[in-house]
Amino acid sequence: MIQFACVGLDHRHVYGMTEGLLAVGAKCAGYYTRDEAEPLEGFTRRFPEVPRFASPELLYQHEDIQLIVCAGIPAERAEICIQAMRHGKDVMVDKPGVITQEQLRAVMQVREETGARYSIDFSEHFEVPATLKAKELIEQGTIGKVVQTVGLGPHRHNAHLRRPWFYEKTQYGGILIDIASHQIDQFLWLTGSKNAEIVASSVGNYANPTLPEFEDYGEIVLRSPTANGVIRVDWYTPDALPTWGDGRLFIQGTEGFLELRKYIDILGHEGQDHLMLVNHDRYERIDCSDVPITYFEKFLNDIKDRTEFTMTHEHCFTVCRLALEAQEKAVQLG
């Protein structure tokens, strides 16, 4: 049995990461968080049996722990992962794993030196059945060759739940690093692209003038040698929507197209994971409820076998680099 520990509970994504690992047989041996971060109450309610440790070093040095799970403040994630890897641990980290080029270089170097398994849990890819089903259909040739993706990632601001770091750019990195890494990952993965070029990017603050370092809107145009991508992310989800965001993904192929309404079908069908397929002989809505989430089990197997079948390190770090480049070259709007 693989044992893991959580270091940094500053984002609620730690709930899903912990639940996913427990569901496939791993054991959570403990957690550390520096202060009373907002997600802490929810974590202790969900996992009351998991002990709190007084320092991260106690977890890094724990001989029975093989994996460190990190959902700390974005600016601190790289150093947490570096320390974990230097202590012989593998790492699963919430996105963004890094927020500067210096952090990316350091993480890549330490991972190479230690041979650690390092994975960023791109949850909109790994934990969304409709996204996994879309990849399956693409691999079957259902829509021909994929030539474009359009990824939309709106989020609810929930200002009353946010800590001060959420509005400090040196702490969260910028909206393209923070959110759009999801869509960059999906573009590369769904189009089969090994790399891409940031053609244009922009960020803005249209709705929060009292928060000068906060970016509430961002967009990217990118392309690879074989495909094109458009990305839009924002913090504008209105309160009436019964979920945190109307995440959409449009995948255009030469023989058809797919549309994913990941979390809600507005004023349409109930539930989530809505996948629509149109090609020359099919016009249908596909039920994705039986599509298994395999990320956590596959990553545990990668840890056991020292493989990287879940996601290659090359892909992981390419997503990081492209998100950083998009943020760096973004035109400031608003």
Instruction: Retrieve residue 188's tokens.
Output: 């590369």
3-state secondary structure 143-166: CCCEEEEEEEEECCCCHHHCCHHH
Give the containing element (helix H, strand E) for 124. helix 123-126
Task: List, for residues 65-105, the tens digit of each pLDDT value.
Answer: 999 999 999 999 999 999 999 999 999 999 999 999 999 99
pLDDT digits (tens, 9 = 90+) for 267-319: 989 999 999 999 999 999 998 989 999 999 999 999 999 999 999 999 999 99
* Mean pLDDT value across the chain: 97
Q: Does residue 38 surpass a pLDDT of 90?
A: no
| Length of the chain as a residue count | 334
**What angle do the packed helices 313-329 and 101-114 form, to 10 degrees?**
170
Whether the pLDDT of residue 263 is over 90: the answer is: yes
The arithmetic mean of pLDDT across residues 184-195, rounded, is 99
- Hey, which CATH number is domain 125-292+326-333, 3.40.50.300, 3.10.20.740, 3.30.360.10, 3.90.78.10? 3.30.360.10
Tokens of 231: 């990305």
Q: Which two tokens stand for residue 108?
A: 């890549």
Portion of the chain with pLDDT greater than 90, in percent: 96
Express each pLDDT in 101-149 by its tens digit.
999 999 999 999 999 999 999 999 999 999 999 999 999 999 999 999 9
CB count within 10 Å of CB 294 equals 13
pLDDT for the residue numbered 35:
81
Angstrom distance (rounded) from CA 244 to CA 28 = 28
The pLDDT score that the predictor gives to residue 288 is 95
Going from N- to C-terminal start, the domains of the chain cover 3-121, 125-292+326-333
| pLDDT value at residue 37 | 78
**What pLDDT was estimated at residue 203?**
99
Query: Considering Cα of 176, then 178, then 235, then 135, what sign does the dihedral take?
Result: positive
Residue 289 pLDDT:
85
CA-wise closest residue to 183 among 253, 251, 136, 137: 251
Closest Cα to residue 248, out of 154, 125, 141? 154
Q: How far apart, in Å, do the first and last CA atoms of the chain sit?
A: 51
| Whether pLDDT at 334 is above 90 | no
Q: At what angle do helices 13-23 and 295-305 cross, to 10 degrees?
A: 70
For residue 36, pLDDT over 90 is answered with no
With pLDDT > 70 as the criterion, what percentage of the chain qualifies? 100
How many other β-carbons are positioned within 10 Å of the β-carbon of residue 151?
A: 25
Whether the Cβ atoms of residue 219 and residue 184 lie closer than 8 Å to each other: no
Residue 5 predicted with pLDDT over 90:
yes
- Number of C-alpha atoms within 13 angstroms, CB side, residue 16? 15
Q: What is the CATH architecture of 3-121?
A: 3-Layer(aba) Sandwich (3.40)
**Alpha-carbon gap, residue 304 to 311, rounded angstroms:** 15
